[in-house]
Amino acid sequence: MDRHVTLSEIFHPVSAADFLTEYFHSAPLHAPGPATRFASLSAAAEASLTQNLELDLEAPVRIVADTGWNGHAFHRCERDLIVLQATGRDLWRIHGRAAEQTPESTWEWQVNEGGALYIPRGCWCSAEPHAPSQNLMLHIENPTGADLLFWLAEKMKQNEAFAGDIPRFAGPAAKSAYLVAMRHAIVQAFRRPDLLERFSRRLNSDAPLPAEPVTPFTAAESLRRWITLTAPRRPTIRRRDKDCIHIRAGGWDFPFPVDAAPLLQYLFEKAPLPTAEFYGEFEGEFDREEIDDFLAVLHKAGIIRLADADSPA
């Protein structure tokens, strides 16, 4: 399996943008493909695939432990699920998202070799293997409303309504006024139109970075190599002032001069990409040494890694 497989390639012809707006956490999706496209599920290929999916979905992706595939009895999905069919074929049945399992399936599909299947969290489903089969199942750990509440509670600790002591021994009027003030503060917090965007930015900014790479970046790195993102989310570029921008990753801020914005934008949109392509794109604007220094900073920070074109990221 190509180590650069992306969400769009898995569910082609549905693009990543269409998947996120039309199917993600909403409806099942099946996409057939060449029978051999998931045939080589090495550990390295799996790690690269989950990293690419995390960049697209902006959420952790975990491989479901393989304990011997014999199908699935009816159960309710606790996580959004992606199934990649490596060999054989499986018949999947989905029974909706009601609180209780319903006797009639609302959607079913036979997933053949090379096929991909997405099932939203909360769906009742089952899988029946047809002849020996093998698949790779991935759970998407999408943030929940509880995660939002925990984050908001941390943000509101300094709010006057929450920072004071609870009036445990006061009279009924004081207790009522205290609860009214808390309720008002909570309502105001939820009325902010950018609440979910701020929460998502925080998730992405605080996603942990890997340990510092063992092999240092040098200016002599081969142009036959690839640049890959090792950060689990695509960092966001923010302007600090007229001369400086910064990106936040792993809870840390990394400043850059404002003229580095095109390099960052191109890298975050295109990676993984060949180093030769990156150098060629900006050779008319920057010296080779300047690009070397730029990549070295990102490499030391653990945001990118260089990999051989024929080896996993």
Complete DSSP assignment for 185-199: HHHHHHT-TTHHHHH
- Give the architecture (CATH level 2) of 225-308: Alpha-Beta Complex (3.90)
The domain locations on the chain are 7-140, 145-191, 225-308
Separation CA 139–CA 240 (nearest Å): 37
> Nearest CA to 91 among 41, 65, 128?
128
Q: What is the rounded average pLDDT of the residues 224-251?
A: 84
pLDDT confidence bin for 42, thresholds 50/70/90:
low
pTM of the model as a whole: 0.72
Calpha distance 228→53 (Å, rounded): 13
pLDDT in tens, 63-98: 987 667 788 888 889 899 999 999 899 999 998 887
Contact 118/97 with Cβ under 8 angstroms? no
Tokens of residue 265, six digits: 């934008």
Question: For the chain, what is the mean pLDDT?
Answer: 85
Superfamily of domain 7-140: Cupin (2.60.120.650)
Residue 231 CA, chain-centre distance (Å), reads: 10
Distance between CA 265 and CA 238 in Å, rounded?
A: 11
Which is more confidently placed, 122 or 234? 122
> With 60 as the cut, is the pLDDT of residue 240 above it?
yes
pLDDT at res. 230: 82
pLDDT at 67: 65
* Contact present, 244 and 255 (Cβ < 8 Å): yes
* Predicted confidence (pLDDT) per residue in 150-161, tens digit: 999 988 888 888
- Residue range 266-295, pLDDT digits in tens: 999 888 888 889 999 998 899 888 888 898
What percent of the chain shows pLDDT beyond 90? 40
Q: What pLDDT score was predicted for residue 249?
A: 82
